Structure 1
Amino acid sequence: MKTTSIMPLITISGLAKSYGAQDLFADVSFGLAAAERIALIGANGSGKTTLLRILCKEEEASSGNVHIEQGVTLGYLPQEVDLPEVAELHLAVLGVTQDLLACASEMRVLERQMASAPPEQAQSIGARLAEITHKFDGLHGFDYFSQAKVILLGLGFDESELNKPVWALSGGQKTRAALARLLLLSPDVLLLDEPTNHLDIRACDWLSDFLNNRYNGAALIVSHDRYFLDGVVSRVIEIDGGTTASYPGNYSTFAKLKADRIEEQRKIYKEQQKEIKRIEEAIQTLFSDRKFTRRDSKVKQLERIKRVNNTASERTISAQFAQAVRSGRDVVRLSKLSKSYPGRDLFADLTLTVERGRKLGIVGPNGSGKSTLLKIIAGLVEPERGEVILGHNVDPVYFSQEFDHLVKSRTVLEELLADADLTSREARNLLAQFLFMGDDAFKLVEVLSGGEQCRLALAKILARSPNLLLLDEPTNHLDIRSREALEEALRSFNGTILMASHDRYLLNTVADELLEISDGQWAAYMGNYAFYKDKSQPAPPPATALEQAKPKPISRPQSTLREIERQIRELTKSRSAIENDIETLELSVEELTAALGDPETYRDGAARDLTLDYEQSSTRLHDLYADWERVCEEIAQAEKTLGELAK
């Protein structure tokens, strides 16, 4: 995580926002320093997204002040993005400036025209292509193109998707593309609203690494992904009760400090209540004895007491599963299970037994087949080969992340009662445990938010009292408090759980087995997420000549001066080799530039191939420049280490 400067880029003072008579927050105050990473957390509906929108001037505050230092640039990632619908994904990401996007788009159009242009038109098209390509290069377009590709692949896109039309992208893919565009733009401050919502675990890890090691700006992050926050932020701002409190450290540190503060506040509240009761009893006694002067003094003493709130009233779901009926020992048996879709194998010959009481987490990239596997086990999708065998006395229930099992035309109460043997009173009590109070029970399901639908779906599960839970992303729409309450309930559940999830905190605290599905393959791990991450790390790939030449960490007496001198010699050789490659490629680019400016090029139909060679050579040349700078830094570091050891 980044160290920060004291200089605040953004200062928020006494900010308030209300909609009519409803106050969203009343006193939000904090600052964001250069390179600081802050998590903004709070219950759903506490105003986190609204605060981000106020900072980027998409909404106005009701009162208070926001000061942004002159020249500071902001980049905002909303939960629902509006991506320019240009022809291709990588062009949309390249649109960090209008000039760059215009150049890239025109280059693509001219390249297509060149492919079918008659000789008499090819010369003018080629001349324009050479001109616009030169302008694109001058805007560092090839650098941006290379960086955009790295970022898109890191965020989970396949290389084959880079030329996909933007209009054909799913909502989640558009959000990832918008995030890629922001990272490429690299503003002074990132305002990120749930940046990991549509990322699989690999992409979440990549984003954490990018923010920690490649992005030098500040970030204000709204997220329910506690594992992500633990790895990225150095401060937590909580919106609670309309105001803010600041905690140093990452999310886990915040959770401990908050728990300690709540416990201390409860003790203070308890002691204060005792003191209030003592004074009230004294007032009553003095009133009976007609000692009015002393009584009035006690009344004033009581009025001067600054009342401490009882923190025990914080609202969150109260999920506790009933004792599950005991099933047979083998709850789920998968035998040589296979499933594929046209052009894509999900898994083949998947053979696994899940025993009673186990809690199996299913992980893998987006689209790898996790949800499909759960649907097969639930009997909603047929496998191509193999079989699913449920054990003796197994009563499964399936939780869909799309909530497509909820009937939208029913009220909340009707939907709960549809599959549950409950009285209306019992159902209302259960709904209250999931924060559906009073008239909330009579809302139509179709008007519920994602978080409310999630809570209703979980309430339906509790009403059923199953002994096998098939959960597809159960925490997706829950705020952090609700996630923690659900995790506690799942940990204490005495039945069996199979859950597909990207929530690494959930997988770490609940799962005791992991099944990974990726690229048509599968593997099982007997442990939680931390165990899986440790055991599933791939062996390092064979080192390239450049990587082999990198100086290794030096510690005496294991590393000698002679070894460091050898490393410096190897690095120097690598630098010379890179310099030779740069010289050769620079000459090649000059020759290609001259050829593209020659009218004869367009008479013999060679312009298209030459243009492609020019683009590839320019991209490779920029990569070599970066390699040369890196090797020079490594030589300097090795020479510094050598000098220190020689003293």
Structure 2
Amino acid sequence: MLAHANPQHMHEMVMRLPADHSRVSRQIPRAHEHPAQLQQSKSSSIRLLQVLPSSPATLCYDRGRAPVSNRLMSLLVVSGIDKSFGGDTILDGVSFRLAWGQKLGLVGRNGSGKTTLLRILTGRMEPDRGSVQYAKGIRFGYLRQEQMVEHGLTVYQEAEDAFAPVLAMEARLRELEQAMARADGSDRLPSVMEEYGQMRERFEAMGGYESLRDIRLVLRRLGFGEADLDKPTRALSGGEKTRLAMARLLLSGPDVLLLDEPTNHLDLEATEWLEGFLRDFGGAVILASHDRWFLDRVVTTVAEIDSARLTLFNGNFSAYWLQRQANRKRQAELHARDRAEVARLMEFFEKWKNTPSKRSQALMRRRWAEKIQQRMAGRPAQEGQSMRLAVKSRIRGGNEVVIAERLTKRWGERTLFEDVSFLVERGHRVGIVGPNGAGKSTLIRILTGEELPTSGSIRLGANITVGLFAQEASGLDLEATALENMLSVGEMLPAAARTHLGRLLFTGDDVFRRTADLSGGEKNKLALAMLAWQRPNLLILDEPTNHLDIDSREALTEMLRGFDGTLLLVSHDRHLLDQTTTHTLEIRDGRAALFEGSYAATREERAAWRSAGRQIAAGPAGVSPAARHGGHENPLTAGLNSFQLSRARRQAAKTVGALESRVAELEDWVRRIEEALSAPMPGDDVVQLSRDYARAQTELNEALAKWEAAITYAHGIGAAV
């Protein structure tokens, strides 16, 4: 049974339930089944639930054990939602249902209405028309992009607040234990013991003492060490507050999760951990994100908001992307045919409208042309423009681009990295990864001269020109206009600057807007436009995808793929890393190592390096700069006799051949899945095929990266390939 819920009442009805590790298969108690506990929750100042759940390997909320009637019903029904601001229509007739176990990815360009829809679903905003209905007794959790935490608490206390009902019950159990001791032998003892038994049963069903372990586990997974637990929340950065809100909400256990950009401020490990949970979470999820890798591995349905309308696609993000491209290609072809037909009909009308014998025919053709135009206007809008940008080097730099030798950086007693040595050669595309706070951005600032190392050195090679994209586009003059910032690059006339900005979708008077008034995505695009005009041969990008929507990220990916110089890229966007990098530099626990291959291709090797606790690197990246700089001996063949070298060359050629065959097989697999996805089929088949497609793409990218590494090594030792 569905009922229109009062949002405030819905929020107050939330119970925060910890995991029960000892009994994985169980039914979570509902708030309305325990009114006494609900009252305790209210008195404990439980705030609006905003939840991210945990990995099933750590916290086990077995939603699959819900009654069949619950699992078959719609948890949420949205009917005909309209919303406008001023004269702008943001949502137009949005309708959909959310079923138990469904993972819905909400996608669309920046400003398309995703956050507005989430606010309407949670009752934080009223629609102009339409209704939102919730299944009775269902608990919602909402994660906003900007989170609030209590400033009077420590990190641990803030997370502990998720278990207020459990802690209140624990306090009551202690009181009852004391009451039993006092009532020993009296008539009150049986009633006290009965209450104690009932309370203890509910306490254990809600996770009991394991809750305290869960708190530390979740905080650690989201990047908070033991030393952070007593830190006051008022001292946290914005990103740390968001992660703390995640930890607090993660421990609360809702039925439905509404998540607005949940991977913001998460490092790659935390993102992958969250990914793992959401895949197996038995409740329902609505997830707004621009992270296509994350979406690919989590969602089963994609809801696209485009031109204020919502369209549903079965499958994950890759399946949606293929369907969208095919749909838009068909729409474009149909639009072109209709436009040509209108032109033909109107040409006849204009030619014969004043000829009495042909006038009636001319008028009929005009009426038919008007009907076609009405039909064209009723279709979804054609795909909007995407940013177009290319970067080409102005001059060719030396073979050695970045040389780090025994580089160390400390902050007080903390060592970010120590004794790090690596060489980046011309044409290398290096993805720099590691946990938040590991020192990735610090390494960039040392390289660009903004900071000094504690010891060691890092320097640029001969004729290297640097183009830097600082995090949050911090190099922009916020008081200047977009055009003035562009002109500050130099050697550019205003007309050329406006044309260049137009490629980034700055049109008309947009170029005269004060930079401080631009959105985060617009500032990033402006910084990228300035970077492209400089035409450096070394691009250094620190989190360039922040605030960019999926279409803009795709355009950035294509820009970097077409760049003919050397790239250093700090990013949490795994799709971008996998599509644009040839090497991976990982910084972690005070150490760093350079691996040959993209993020996905080096996953196993990096895991081995982490577990071994020592620096290793693949192929030529493992050779120290000193060995490369001194003498003329090839470090790849040093120490090999002629027999060993001959055998190594044969093996390298064999490896290249095997990988080429594997790449061909995987390309054929991807092609066959793409053909299957373009044909009509049942929804379940689309979901399975989309999962196969994501796996095939991942395996193909890994195989290509291994092939590139193998052929580089083969050439390095003189093998015939």
Q: TM-score range by the shorter chain?
A: 0.7 to 0.9
Give the structure 2 partner of residue 249 of structure 1.
Answer: 315
> Which residue, out of 271, 294, 317, partners 2:387?
317
- Larger CA deviation: 149-158 vs 185-194: 149-158
Give the structure 2 partner of residue 231 of structure 1.
Answer: 297
Residue 382 (1) aligns with residue 452 (2): yes
Residue 149 (1) aligns with residue 216 (2): yes
- Cα distance in structure 2, aligned partners of 1:142 and 1:239: 44
> Which residue, out of 530, 534, 539, partners 1:464?
534
Give the structure 1 partner of residue 554 of structure 2.
Answer: 484
Q: Cα offset for 1:47?
A: 1.1
- Cα distance in structure 2, aligned partners of 1:105 and 1:520: 43
TM-score, normalising length: structure 1? 0.75
- Cα distance in structure 2, aligned partners of 1:541 and 1:485: 37
Counterpart residue identity of residue 491, structure 2? D
Residue 198 (1) aligns with residue 265 (2): yes
- Cα distance in structure 1, aligned partners of 2:536 and 2:585: 22
- Cα distance in structure 2, aligned partners of 1:140 and 1:13: 38
SS in 2 for 1:338: strand
Give the structure 2 partner of residue 262 of structure 1.
Answer: 328
Give the structure 2 partner of residue 41 of structure 1.
Answer: 107
Counterpart residue identity of residue 23, structure 1? T
- Kept in 2: contact 1:94–1:100 (CA 8 A): no
User: Are residues 102 and 418 of structure 1, via their aligned partners in 2, closer, same or farther at CA, if it must alter by over 3 Å?
Assistant: farther
Q: Cα offset for 1:86?
A: 4.4
Give the structure 1 partner of residue 569 of structure 2.
Answer: 499
Deviations 1:525-578 (A, max 9, x none): 111111022332349999xxxxxxxxxxxxxxxxxxxxxxxxxxxxxxxxxxxx
TM-score, normalising length: structure 2? 0.68
Give the structure 2 partner of residue 73 of structure 1.
Answer: 139
SS in 1 for 2:405: strand
User: Are residues 494 and 324 of structure 1, via their aligned partners in 2, closer, same or farther at CA, if it must alter by over 3 Å?
Assistant: farther
Counterpart residue identity of residue 514, structure 1? T
Deviations 1:181-222 (A, max 9, x none): 222111111111111111100101111112223x32111111
- Cα distance in structure 1, aligned partners of 2:561 and 2:567: 10
> Which residue, out of 9, 12, 15, partners 2:81?
15
Q: Cα offset for 1:50?
A: 1.2
User: Are residues 539 and 210 of structure 1, via their aligned partners in 2, closer, same or farther at CA, if it must alter by over 3 Å?
Assistant: farther
Give the structure 1 partner of residue 306 of structure 2.
Answer: 240
Deviations 1:41-90 (A, max 9, x none): 11111111111111111111111211111111111111111112343222
- Kept in 1: contact 2:169–2:203 (CA 8 A): no
- Cα distance in structure 2, aligned partners of 1:508 and 1:417: 34
- Kept in 2: contact 1:265–1:311 (CA 8 A): no
> Which residue, out of 226, 237, 242, partners 1:159?
226
SS in 2 for 1:482: helix
In the TM superposition, 1:603-622 aligns within 5 A as none
Residue 280 (1) aligns with residue 350 (2): no
- Kept in 1: contact 2:538–2:565 (CA 8 A): yes
User: Are residues 422 and 30 of structure 1, via their aligned partners in 2, closer, same or farther at CA, if it must alter by over 3 Å?
Assistant: same
- Cα distance in structure 2, aligned partners of 1:35 and 1:13: 20
For structure 2, the 5+ residue unaligned runs are 1-55, 57-62, 65-69, 174-198, 613-721
Q: Cα offset for 1:439?
A: 2.0
Give the structure 1 partner of residue 516 of structure 2.
Answer: 446
In the TM superposition, 1:97-116 aligns within 5 A as 98-100=164-166
SS in 2 for 1:29: strand
Deviations 1:129-188 (A, max 9, x none): xxxx99996774523222222222222221322232222222111111111222211111
> Which residue, out of 415, 438, 449, partners 1:345?
415
Give the structure 1 partner of residue 119 of structure 2.
Answer: 53
- Cα distance in structure 1, aligned partners of 2:202 and 2:100: 31
User: Are residues 98 and 135 of structure 1, via their aligned partners in 2, closer, same or farther at CA, if it must alter by over 3 Å?
Assistant: farther
- Kept in 2: contact 1:85–1:92 (CA 8 A): no
- Cα distance in structure 1, aligned partners of 2:201 and 2:336: 72
Q: Cα offset for 1:323?
A: 4.5
In the TM superposition, 1:362-401 aligns within 5 A as 362-401=432-471
Counterpart residue identity of residue 351, structure 1? S
User: Are residues 82 and 441 of structure 1, via their aligned partners in 2, closer, same or farther at CA, if it must alter by over 3 Å?
Assistant: same
Q: Cα offset for 1:288?
A: 5.5
Give the structure 1 partner of residue 606 of structure 2.
Answer: 536
Residue 359 (1) aligns with residue 429 (2): yes
- Larger CA deviation: 336-345 vs 360-369: 336-345
- Cα distance in structure 2, aligned partners of 1:376 and 1:105: 53
> Which residue, out of 287, 301, 307, partners 2:376?
307
- Cα distance in structure 1, aligned partners of 2:295 and 2:250: 18
Residue 168 (1) aligns with residue 235 (2): yes
Counterpart residue identity of residue 266, structure 2? L
Give the structure 1 partner of residue 148 of structure 2.
Answer: 82
SS in 2 for 1:49: helix
User: Are residues 157 and 104 of structure 1, via their aligned partners in 2, closer, same or farther at CA, if it must alter by over 3 Å?
Assistant: farther
SS in 1 for 2:265: coil
Q: Cα offset for 1:492?
A: 0.1
In the TM superposition, 1:579-618 aligns within 5 A as none
User: Are residues 534 and 254 of structure 1, via their aligned partners in 2, closer, same or farther at CA, if it must alter by over 3 Å?
Assistant: farther
Deviations 1:340-367 (A, max 9, x none): 2122222222221111122110000000
Overall identity of the aligned pairs, in %: 40
Give the structure 1 partner of residue 643 of structure 2.
Answer: none
- Larger CA deviation: 281-290 vs 168-177: 281-290
Q: Cα offset for 1:479?
A: 0.7
Give the structure 2 partner of residue 118 of structure 1.
Answer: none
User: Are residues 452 and 11 of structure 1, via their aligned partners in 2, closer, same or farther at CA, if it must alter by over 3 Å?
Assistant: same
- Kept in 1: contact 2:101–2:282 (CA 8 A): yes
SS in 2 for 1:299: helix
Give the structure 2 partner of residue 608 of structure 1.
Answer: none
- Cα distance in structure 2, aligned partners of 1:513 and 1:144: 42
Counterpart residue identity of residue 410, structure 1? A
Counterpart residue identity of residue 428, structure 2? R
- Cα distance in structure 1, aligned partners of 2:530 and 2:398: 24
Residue 516 (1) aligns with residue 582 (2): no
SS in 1 for 2:353: helix
Counterpart residue identity of residue 438, structure 2? S
- Cα distance in structure 1, aligned partners of 2:163 and 2:536: 55
- Kept in 1: contact 2:386–2:552 (CA 8 A): yes
SS in 1 for 2:551: helix
- Cα distance in structure 2, aligned partners of 1:177 and 1:104: 24
SS in 1 for 2:126: coil
> Which residue, out of 528, 540, 543, partners 1:473?
543
Q: Cα offset for 1:100?
A: 4.5
Deviations 1:77-114 (A, max 9, x none): 1111111234322221222354446689999xxxxxxx
User: Are residues 373 and 134 of structure 1, via their aligned partners in 2, closer, same or farther at CA, if it must alter by over 3 Å?
Assistant: same
Q: Cα offset for 1:425?
A: 1.1
Root-mean-square deviation over aligned CA pairs: 2.8
- Cα distance in structure 1, aligned partners of 2:119 and 2:476: 32
- Kept in 1: contact 2:103–2:287 (CA 8 A): yes
Counterpart residue identity of residue 283, structure 2? G
Counterpart residue identity of residue 474, structure 2? D
User: Are residues 232 and 10 of structure 1, via their aligned partners in 2, closer, same or farther at CA, if it must alter by over 3 Å?
Assistant: same
> Which residue, out of 129, 134, 142, partners 1:63?
129
- Cα distance in structure 2, aligned partners of 1:438 and 1:287: 39
